[in-house]
Amino acid sequence: MPLSIFSNIEVNINHRINNKELFKKVNSLQLKNSSKTFSKNRCIESLIQENALINSLPWAIFEIDRHSIFTFANKRTLEMLRNTENDLKHGVNFLQTLVHHDALEVSKYVNRIFQGTDLGIHECTALRKEGSTFPIALHGIPVFTNDKTTVIRGFAVDISELKKLEKELQISQKEFYSLFHNNPESLVLS
């Protein structure tokens, strides 16, 4: 089943700062919009609201660097992979959160995104910290700084329920086909 419904989701996240770092980074920050200068308190409030929004989304939102190390992950990402903030601080490689055969393919996908190509949705199997797996739909986009891709911003959706429904549909179709074609009597559907 195509996952084109996800291709229209665009997540634009410009500030990825946890609350502890927030006050340090904003301390000397002044944002200018036309002739208006926003107060530090307004900047802090805005970043906290954005952080709350990102963490309230039902999707895993993340950012990885050129070495595929997570530079940001929202709470849903951590929940899905069963990682902690402390794990991220010590460096979690994005490719190590995928089953081996998918990690090789996604590595090529990541390299092409770093070259500036938007490749759309990619289905693969994620690997949780304790070893269990689940299917995901993954999308990443290049983020440019001075005409160079510096990070990949992406989202992942757990598609376990979708895969379960697809399997049930296939079984149902096989049963219907078997019933219809193995019946010695003619069936008329009207």
Domain count, the chain: 1
Pull the structure tokens for residue 33. 């919009």
User: Does residue 190 fall inside a structural domain?
Assistant: no
| pLDDT, tens digit, 9 for 90 and up, residues 138-147 | 999 999 888 8
Q: Mean pLDDT in the chain?
A: 80
Cβ neighbours of residue 162 closer than 8 Å, sequence gap 6 or more = 1, 135
pLDDT grade, residue 40 (50/70/90)? confident
User: Does residue 146 fall inside a structural domain?
Assistant: yes
What CA–CA distance (Å, rounded) separates 165 from 159?
10
Rounded to an integer, the average pLDDT of 41-62 is 84
pLDDT grade, residue 178 (50/70/90)? confident
Is residue 62 a contact partner of residue 156, using CB atoms and an 8 Å limit?
yes
Residue 43 sits in which domain range?
A: 4-181
User: Does residue 188 fall inside a structural domain?
Assistant: no
Burial zone of 76 (CB within 10 Å; 0-12 exposed, 13-18 middle, 19+ buried): buried
Pull the structure tokens for residue 188. 């008329």
- Which of these ranges, 14-23, 65-74, 112-121, 178-187, has the smallest mean pLDDT? 14-23
Q: What is the CATH number of the domain that holds 102?
A: 3.30.450.20
| pLDDT, tens digit, 9 for 90 and up, residues 92-118 | 999 999 999 999 999 999 999 999 888
pLDDT grade, residue 22 (50/70/90)? low
User: Does residue 186 fall inside a structural domain?
Assistant: no
User: Does residue 66 fall inside a structural domain?
Assistant: yes
